[in-house]
A and B are shown apart, each in its own frame.
Chain A
Amino acid sequence: MRKNLDVISAYSIMIGLIILVGFLQSWSMALSILCLCLISAVMTMGANIQWGYAGLINFGIMGYTALGGLAAVLVSVPPVQEAWQAGGFNMILCAFLIAFMVFSIRFILKKYSKSKNRNYGIGAIIIVGLILLRLISAPAIESIEAVDPATTGFLGGMGLPILFSWIVGAFFAGALAYIIGKIALGLRADYLAIATLLISEIVISVIKHEDWLARGVKNVIGLKRPVPYEVDLQSKQWFINLVEKFNQSTLNLITNTLERQEALKQLVIESSTVFVKLCFAGLFTVVVIILLIITQKALYSPWGRMMRAIRDNEEAANAMGKNVVKQHLLIFVLGSAIVGIAGAMMVTYDGLFTPGSYRPMRYTFLIWVMVIVGGSGNNFGAILGGFAVWFLWVEAAPIALFMINFFTSGLEETNAFRIHLVNSIPYFRFLMMGIGLLLIMRYRPKGILPEKIKRI
């Protein structure tokens, strides 16, 4: 018990802070912070697997998150029949064409030795393939996007429950990571960071501009939820009874029946949002706990020891007969898949998919701040980092407002400087993140909860 004291105290403080938000601001607010903290925790666990276990820098988190979100759309939205009739055949043809191109290139690479002719052959296949793709897909895309562009204009998805997308998102992200890993994993650390960052931008721009896939910047809204809707809850008798039971004491104070009815109605509306968020939080907690158990098991297994050996001394690990390249690729795919789950979870929670909102600041750099602050190589640390940083990110505005009012209390309310500062409150969160990261890197470079290595 004693050796886990730091973990327990850190988590108690965190939970305490969220409960404090519940009392001071509102429970709905506290629960949405909790939900996003949990999602961030999943993302940091993915990044932590790559960085903490294997020392790989992945700045492409944004790309995997977006792919996870795309999976949520493709799984849960019902298929758009007219669009499939208009251009479905051509799009399937294109998919086959791409597969054919990939296999023929692989065939050539295997069959022929390195030569100029081989390169020309591959180049020819790519160019001819691209021209064919363009010719086949262009009219199809046009007709798909013409199908009722205000509401659909895309192929739609499979119409399955959205929870499936959490797994599909993991597969999508893993597949992308496999391709990126094949291209870029041989590079040196900071070079890999830049390459992954840029590749994730390519992914985002494809999702943004291929309207036939997921409507692009026109956004997909109204995704189905795995939890009940507020409106349905408000009319359910059992829920009203539950709310009545919980608020017995306050309701009993009101004697007038009509007023009591009104108050109850108000309470039901408020509690319905809280209840929905509680359901989400429960689902997310299950995911976090499952992932935590798996990652902890993996960390202390022989495989985890091998990963640490590779991270700390690649050459030595290689000399011991460990396949460094293969293991790097494996862990790159696994970590990215976890990030993909988080991306799908996030879209599920929001109920909408907005490709325009995927920006590197929020989805790559902030996640990295979480990993570094929390403690790389320690899963509890990574989760804590996700919680603490997201909490600060949301609560930065009220804190900044308080600080500004405190420090400028000598100035008048109408002072131009004070008004300017108050107007720029939203940007103080960047300042806090930056200074927080710099302080942690300087004085506690291993994070709040540093990595612990069990000696055997």
Chain B
Amino acid sequence: MDFLNAIVLLLNYLFVPALSYGSQLAMGAIFVSLIYGILRFAYFTAGDLMSFGTMFTILFTWYFQSLGINLGFLPTALLAIPFGIIITILYVLLKDKLVFSYYRTQKSPPVMLAMVSIGTMFVTQAIVRIVIGPFDRRFFDGEKFILKANEFKEMTGLNEGLTIKSTQAITLVVTVIVVSILFWFLNKTKTGKSMRAYSDNEDLALLSGIDPKKVVMITWIIAAILATIGGALYGLDKSFKPFTYFNNMLPIFAAAIVGGIGNPFGAFLGGYVIAFSEILLTYAYKKFFVYLLPENLEPDGLLQLLSTDYKFAVSFSILVIVLLFRPSGIFKGKVL
């Protein structure tokens, strides 16, 4: 029984939160990785593009709420996400047309494009803050929990409860759907294959008649879709604050690099690597060992490897370690 309690404890405080956080990171990491692979620059607007998409999702959510439309026990935001995606797609395509396409035709070095993406980062951040303000906003409605701690305790008779928030479940389901569609698209369809070919070897891809304009456009569209969905899920799960989104850029980059930048599948797994290590290293294991060990061996301290303040630092340290020993990332991305 104690053993089961210990397992449920870990599931509740470690596994479920890490899984949903990891999925949200993975969404971001995949599109950063794709942009790196195909457009060949570090896209510093990543976090702010996510906040841009989330902002429009929130605005549409409010609009639907004012009309009285809702999805019952599901959050209204799910209905608003497609509209948010459309606006974000228009925004990135406009940005590409006005800003990035010039540097592509000039064949500028990647550093130049990265700098330009810092410029668009400033602009995007300004737009978000001017339109919706810098405040913390919650836009979740509908049923909050799928499984409450008390219900779980009654059901199983264990001491420890297991809580599953509906946002966590939604995050998982949506991630599975989106990511499988994405990988099906990249691996099976003609456009997806041409994108991978373009990423592997640009000159050869151009010789075999792949239209670079189309590849670039599809990349931006995928980026906008992933950014909006990932951002909206993160906002549903926690809350929407532009500054947090900007900061999320850092673990997203860490995930993309750890997974091997330019390799979307690696980035997907990288998101989970970062999320799990962040939570595993900052969790206090005292209660877990109280359940497992006999009473006379019970630990005194919290058994926390690192204080929770260092959450971000953990993911960056992993990045440094990966850089030292496997510069191309765990799953072999581009060699840099």
Is the pairing of A and B real? Answer: yes
A residues contacting B by CB (< 8 A) are 57, 183-184, 186-191, 193-195, 197-199, 201-202, 205-206, 208-209, 361, 365, 368-369, 372, 421, 423-424, 427-431, 433-435, 437-438, 441-442, 445
Complex contact A209–B309 (CB within 8 A): yes
- Among A197, A368, A434, A445, find the residue whose CB has the most chain B CB atoms closer than 10 A: A434
- Does B53 count as interface, using CB distance less than 8 angstroms? no
Complex contact A368–B115 (CB within 8 A): yes
Complex contact A198–B254 (CB within 8 A): yes
10 nearest A-B pairs in the assembled complex, by CB-CB distance: A434-B122, A434-B123, A431-B126, A430-B126, A427-B129, A437-B119, A209-B309, A198-B316, A438-B119, A190-B42
Complex contact A438–B120 (CB within 8 A): yes
A-B contact pairs, 24 of them (CB 8 A): A183-B320, A183-B323, A183-B324, A186-B327, A190-B114, A193-B42, A194-B253, A195-B319, A198-B316, A201-B313, A202-B317, A209-B307, A209-B309, A427-B125, A427-B134, A428-B126, A431-B126, A435-B119, A437-B115, A438-B99, A438-B116, A438-B119, A441-B112, A441-B116
Closest CB-CB distance, A395 to chain B, in whole Å?
16
With A183-B320, A427-B129, A430-B125 as known contacts, state yes or no: A209 contacts B312, CB within 8 Å: no
Tell me which of A206, A368, A428, A445 contacts B313 (CB under 8 A): A206
Complex contact B336–A191 (CB within 8 A): yes
Complex contact B327–A187 (CB within 8 A): yes
Bound form: Cα–Cα A361–B307 in Å? 26
Complex contact B120–A442 (CB within 8 A): no
B residues contacting A by CB (< 8 A) are 41-42, 99, 102, 109-112, 114-116, 118-127, 129-130, 133-134, 246, 250, 253-254, 257, 261, 307, 309-310, 312-313, 316-317, 319-320, 323-324, 327, 336
With A198-B254, A205-B312, A427-B130 as known contacts, state yes or no: A435 contacts B115, CB within 8 Å: no
Name the residue on A nearest B43 (C-beta): A190
Complex contact A184–B323 (CB within 8 A): yes
Secondary structure of the B side of the interface?
A: helix
Closest CB-CB distance, A198 to chain B, in whole Å?
4
For A438, the chain B residues whose CB sits under 8 A away are 99, 116, 119-120, 123
Complex contact B130–A428 (CB within 8 A): yes
Given A209-B310, A431-B127, 4 further pairs, Cβ under 8 A: A195-B319, A195-B320, A434-B125, A442-B99
Complex contact A441–B125 (CB within 8 A): no
For B312, the chain A residues whose CB sits under 8 A away are 201-202, 205
Q: How many A-B residue pairs have CB under 8 A?
A: 122
Name the residue on A nearest B41 (C-beta): A190
Closest CB-CB distance, B242 to chain A, in whole Å?
9
For B324, the chain A residues whose CB sits under 8 A away are 183
Name the residue on B nearest A426 (C-beta): B129
For A186, the chain B residues whose CB sits under 8 A away are 327
Bound form: Cα–Cα A15–B41 in Å? 38
For A442, the chain B residues whose CB sits under 8 A away are 99, 102
Closest CB-CB distance, A263 to chain B, in whole Å?
43
Bound form: Cα–Cα A372–B115 in Å? 9
Tell me which of A189, A199, A206 contacts B320 (CB under 8 A): A199
Bound form: Cα–Cα A368–B112 in Å? 12
Complex contact A205–B126 (CB within 8 A): no
Bound form: Cα–Cα A435–B261 in Å? 29
With A437-B118, A438-B116 as known contacts, state yes or no: A361 contacts B123, CB within 8 Å: no
With A208-B309, A365-B118 as known contacts, state yes or no: A187 contacts B336, CB within 8 Å: yes
Name the residue on B nearest A361 (C-beta): B246
Name the residue on A nearest B45 (C-beta): A434
Name the residue on B nearest A400 (C-beta): B130
Tell me which of B123, B253, B319 contacts A431 (CB under 8 A): B123
Complex contact B309–A205 (CB within 8 A): yes
Name the residue on A nearest B315 (C-beta): A198
Tell me which of B102, B109, B123 contacts A430 (CB under 8 A): B123
Complex contact A430–B122 (CB within 8 A): yes
Complex contact A434–B111 (CB within 8 A): no
For A365, the chain B residues whose CB sits under 8 A away are 118, 121-122
For B118, the chain A residues whose CB sits under 8 A away are 365, 368-369, 437
With A430-B126, A438-B119 as known contacts, state yes or no: A193 contacts B309, CB within 8 Å: no
- Among A183, A372, A433, A438, find the residue whose CB has the most chain B CB atoms closer than 10 A: A438
